Amino acid sequence: MTEKNVSKVVRFVPVVGSVYQLISSGVYYALDKPNNAKERLIDGAVSLAADVISIVTVGASKSAPTFFIIYISFCLN
C-alpha cells in the first residue's frame, strides 16, 4: 500500500487525519517535494478547520440545554 493510499484512508478519521496530513506536508517539504507538500498542507488545514467547527458545534449544542435550564431557574428565583 502506497503512502498516497494510506493518506486517502486516514483523511476520513477526525483530527488524526488532519494531523497526518499536516505532518506529511512537513515531511514532503523536507524531502524537497513542494507540490506534494502544498497539497497536503491545504488538505490538512481544511480538515483541521472542519474538525474544529464540528467540535465547537457539538460542544455548543450540548451546553445550550444546560445553559437554558440554568437561565430559567435563575429567572424563576
pTM for this entry: 0.70
> What is the structure's pLDDT at 33?
94
> What is the structure's pLDDT at 75?
43
Provide the angle, in degrees to the nearest 10, between the axes of the packed helices 34-76 and 16-30.
150
> What is the structure's pLDDT at 39?
92
> What is the structure's pLDDT at 24?
93
Please list the pLDDT of the chain residue by residue as tens digits (77 residues).
688 888 878 877 888 888 999 999 999 999 999 999 999 999 899 888 888 888 777 766 665 555 544 444 444 44
